[in-house]
Every structure is written in structure tokens, then in C-alpha cells.
Amino acid sequence: MRHSKVWPDEDELVRLVRAAQGAAPGALDTLLAALRPSFVAYFAAALGHDDAEDAAQLALLDIVRVLSGIDAQRALGYVLAIAGHQLDKARQRRARAKRRYVPLELAETVEWPVAADWDAEYHELARVVRASLAALPAERREALLEALHGVRSSTLAAQQHVSMATVRSRRRRARKSLHAALAAIR
């Protein structure tokens, strides 16, 4: 008996489940490949394609977990039950997600009282960093800034005609100076 065009033929499903339970080579993959399109089609109607793909993967994992306990003669019932459970779980996840987030338009209307404070703090931080960088010896400042631009120690060492250990030492000293300057503004 065929329950709908979505699900595999019941006799074929019984055969696939028995083969997978018997650990025939490639049988589990064949079973999952046969079920995947059915799960995706079933979930897509209620959830949309992207969420249907996720729900199908979870349903296939459920099949793998319970495979040894499935009565092959009643395999379609197990598959339908798993599909129903996964659909319920997906709907619950969606409901939780909707409660977590508000529309962007609403978020934009909320006044942020600390924005002015943050802006002032940012400008103070930027001022301290600029002053601290300016106070560093040129070779230390260059070693630090080149690292931020992704220049490798070996390249900088070659440009400055010093060893890589010297470049690393300069960077370490520059970072230490910056840390001290930033700690002072706390």
C-alpha cells in the first residue's frame, strides 16, 4: 500500500531496511539516499527548503540511531513517526527563534542612552592609542604596525636589515607599551 507519492514504496523500504540491518556493504547509504528526498519533500511543504534540508538531516540521523530496533515490516510507520517528530521539533525551534528576535525596524527605534558615552570613550581610546604609537621609537612602531598589516617578521627583518629575533623583540616591547598606556585609561 502506498501512503503518498512522497514516501518510498513500502515493499522497497522493507527490503532496504533489512539490508541495512544486515550490514550489507553500502546498504545504509542506499537506505538513507532513498529516504532523503522523501524527508526533504515532506518538510519543505511546512518549513521551506533550507529548513527542510536541516530537518531531513536530523531525521536521517534518527533513522541511523534506531535502525537496529526497527521492525522492517513496519518500517514505513517508523519513518512517518520520525518525520512527524522532526517536523514538531522544527516548528518548536522556529517558535523559539521568533521569540528571541525582534524586527530590525523595532530595534532601530529604541534609543540607546549610552551611545554618547561610548562615542566619548572611543575617541579617548583612539587618542591614547595614537599618542602611544607616536611616542614609540620608529622601529618599534613600524614592527607593530606592519604586523597589523600582515607583513611577516622575515620580510620586515630583511627590510630593516636586522634579525627576526630583533623584529619580534620590537613588537613585544611595542605591545607592552600599548598595554601600559591602555591600562592607564581604565
Q: Domains in the chain, please, with CATH?
A: 10-100 (1.10.1740), 115-184 (1.10.10.10)
What is the per-residue pLDDT across 77-132, written as a single tens digit (0 to 9) for each? 999 999 999 999 999 988 888 877 767 777 677 666 666 677 778 888 888 888 88
Q: What is the pTM of this model?
A: 0.53
Identify the pLDDT of residue 92. Answer: 92
What is the per-residue pLDDT across 136-148, written as a single tens digit (0 to 9) for each? 888 888 887 887 7
Identify the pLDDT of residue 112. Answer: 64
Cα gap 110→99, rounded to integer Å = 18
CA distances from 173 to 26, 134, 135, 141, 182 (A): 60, 14, 13, 10, 14
